[in-house]
Structure 1
Amino acid sequence: MTEMERSWADLTYEALVEVMKRVDFEQLYVGLPLVCKAWRVASLDPGCWERVHMEPSFRIRSETDAWWQPAFEAKVDYMLKLAVDRSAGSLLELSTRHCSNSALSYLASRCPSARLVSVSSSRGVTDLSICQLAKSCPQLEHLDVSECQNVTVTSLEQVGQNCKSLTVLKRNRFIGNYNPSRKSQLPSEYSRTSSPANADAEAQVICTLMTNLKHLELRHTKLSDQGLFSLLDGCTNLECLDITGCLNLTRRAKEEARARLPNEKLRDDKTPAQRNVNVDRYGHWQLYNERFQSGFFQF
């Protein structure tokens, strides 16, 4: 037995919990509990489940048709509800995709202190659960409802009225990788997104009820010049506004927005793309990664 193995075996319960707070969701869910009894007990501590980030598990895998099926949505819901139960109501952050109203309402009813909720690409999420989230979690600071086609201005109004601490809102219509400047490459779903009138209505709610926003993403929406100017007038605390792929905006409107948001606060089609670099901060978990992570979504 090496010195490193002895040091891990000698860790106290409290130390194990602190370590497990820093690993990713996959490792906590399907890897570490299988190592030994002590690790399983520590992995069930509510403190390990305050921040549940499933989103990286989706990003490192290729998009599959199965992700949009009801059966897969039910699996994601099961994992999220289990995470809520294990947090004993202390969950603060959740990021995932492809969940439904059932899981989000479950979180809202049991975790009133939630600060960050990201449910992008969740067609099963509607105004019903977002309104419940807004009313049950008034301390919400970060909300991502990108590619949630069944979320409308109705729930955004509830969020604006109830969540006065909100500083980050992501309402992107698409999060896939393609060139937004070439209309021929836009997916067919673009024609089915909200009309310019609906996009401007959402902008009006945002600039009226969410004046504390610092980060706003509206990529690939049908925002018009008028809607953009309303945002600039109402959201004066913005540190980042992303309007990449908003094809209804004129060059003049974008130039004025860039002038009113200096220091590279505006992101549009001319903004250089930023590469996402995955850095494994916990190299000592490599053996467990190889053994447990390959079939995470195939349970």
Structure 2
Amino acid sequence: MGWELGPDWTELTQECLLDIFSRLSLEERWTGPMFVCKTWMNGCQDPSLNLVFDLETKFQSLPGSLSCWWSPEFGDKIDSVLRSVVDWSQGGLKEVRVSHCTDSSISYVAERCPNLEVLSVKYCPKVTDDSMLKIALMCPNLKELDISFSYKISCVCVDMVGKSCKSIQTFKRNLMDPAEVTKSVPSNYVEDPSIFLIYGNIDAYVIGKHMHQLKHLELRFSTLSNNGLAQLCEGCSNLEYLDLCGCNKLTSDGVTNSISNLKHLKEIKKPSFPAFII
């Protein structure tokens, strides 16, 4: 009985390869076909396959917060991967969802991807205003921005994003639950948490002043007060979703009065207000 030869996968056309690779996740492409042969590696580097860079789902799938994630070496690896995708996209990268990267790669994105629409840089202690101001100035088409838990990004960045990115509809500026800080992140991650005590109302003022088109806003564990929320809601009358969980400086009456201006509001997550005891 003779041997039956299977198909020669190296003979697939570029169109067939791209169709197959487009069905794979970023991780699957990076750990599989890229190492088969040079033709397949070139296929994985096609610009059409590198319009989205999403590592968020990978981080979420792993249990807890691994200590290695917070090391400089890990940050360098994330930066290297992100810069590669930027190059392969040939400037067409539209969506970046990543954690534990640094200013280096975010600046690289800002300088080379003017059509960026989505940026999520959660848990990035090495991302600061230096790179985020470049994003604000060089990526005017930004529609969604998540800077949650990245404590080196200040209200200066929030102000510039509001002034420059007039298409932004989703903004997330969540802070950590104090219990999470002590349980799952290095003790030096938030070097001086007291600095954020003054940011809540400043953020609220800036958001209300510049982000009138916002539809989705998350400010979990923010330190904004009733006055700050009132200013915010007055300026962002198009809000459809508002998350205020953990905002312990707010009162029930303050929230009720402020959101009365939000005629399009579909969902709100309120803080856990203490029960009123007679």
Shorter-chain TM range is 0.7 to 0.9
Question: Identity percentage over the alignment?
Answer: 33
- 1:102 has 2:104 as partner: yes
Secondary structure at 1:143's aligned position in 2? strand
Residue 21 of structure 1: how far off its partner (Å): 3.2
- Size of the alignment, in residue pairs? 260
In the other structure, the counterpart of 1:71 is 73
Is the contact made by 1:21 and 1:49 (CA closer than 8 Å) also made in structure 2?
no
Is the contact made by 1:24 and 1:53 (CA closer than 8 Å) also made in structure 2?
no
Give every structure 1 segment of 4 or more consecutive aligned residues whose post-TM-superposition deviation is greater than 6 Å. Answer: 7-10
- Between the aligned partners of 1:173 and 1:193, the Cα distance in structure 2 is 13
In the other structure, the counterpart of 1:252 is 253
Residue 168 of structure 1: how far off its partner (Å): 0.8
Residue 256 of structure 1: how far off its partner (Å): 3.4
TM-score, length basis structure 1: 0.79
- 1:53 has 2:54 as partner: yes
- Between the aligned partners of 2:72 and 2:168, the Cα distance in structure 1 is 31
Residue 192 of structure 1: how far off its partner (Å): 1.0
Secondary structure at 1:29's aligned position in 2? helix
In the other structure, the counterpart of 1:225 is 226
Matched letter for residue 255 of structure 1:
T
| Unmatched segments (≥5 aa) in structure 1 | 175-179, 271-299
Matched letter for residue 31 of structure 1:
G
Is the contact made by 2:237 and 2:261 (CA closer than 8 Å) also made in structure 1?
no
Is the contact made by 1:194 and 1:222 (CA closer than 8 Å) also made in structure 2?
no
**Per-residue displacement from partner, 1:219-267 (whole Å, max 9, x unpaired)?**
1111111111111111011111111111111122233355555764212
Kindly report which structure 2 residues correspond to 1:102-251, keeping only aligned pairs within 5 A, or say none: 102-174=104-176, 185=179, 187-188=181-182, 192=193, 194-251=195-252
- Between the aligned partners of 1:240 and 1:6, the Cα distance in structure 2 is 52
| Unmatched segments (≥5 aa) in structure 2 | 183-189, 273-278
Is the contact made by 1:149 and 1:193 (CA closer than 8 Å) also made in structure 2?
no
In the other structure, the counterpart of 2:28 is 27
- Between the aligned partners of 1:22 and 1:219, the Cα distance in structure 2 is 35
Secondary structure at 1:123's aligned position in 2? coil
**Per-residue displacement from partner, 1:49-74 (whole Å, max 9, x unpaired)?**
11110111111112111111111111
- What RMSD in Å do the two structures reach over aligned CA positions? 2.6
RCO (CA 8 Å, sep 6+): is it higher in 1 or 2? 1
TM-score, length basis structure 2: 0.84
Corresponding residue to 1:92 among 91, 94, 99: 94
